[in-house]
Amino acid sequence: MIKRTLYFGNASHLSVQHNQLLIKTDALEKTVPLEDIGVLIIDHYQISVTHAVLHKLLENNTAVITCNDKHHPTGLLLNLDGHTQQSEKFQAQIKTSEPLKKQLWQQTIKAKIANQKAVLDKWEIESGMLHRCYQKVLSGDTTNEEAQAAKYYWRNLFNEEEPDFFRARYGDYPNNFLNYGYAILRATVARGLVASGLLPTLGIHHQNKYNAYCLADDIMEPYRPYVDHLVKELINDFPEQQELTTEIKQKLLGIPALDILIDGKASPLMVGLQRTTASLAACFEGNQKKILYPIFQT
What are the pLDDT digits (tens) for 191-226?
999 989 998 889 999 887 667 789 999 999 999 999
Domain with CATH 3.100.10.20 in the chain: 4-77
Q: Work out the pLDDT band at 70, boundaries 50, 70, 90.
A: confident
Give the pLDDT score at 85: 66
Domain with CATH 1.20.120.920 in the chain: 86-284
Give the pLDDT score at 154: 97
Give the pLDDT score at 256: 95
* Mean pLDDT, all residues of the chain: 93
- Please give the CATH architecture assigned to the domain spanning 86-284: Up-down Bundle (1.20)
Evaluate whether the domain defined by 4-77 bears CATH number 3.100.10.20: yes
Whether residue 83 is predicted with pLDDT greater than 80 in this model: the reply is no
Whether residue 82 is predicted with pLDDT greater than 60 in this model: the reply is no
Give the pLDDT score at 90: 86
CB atoms within 10 A of CB 226: 20
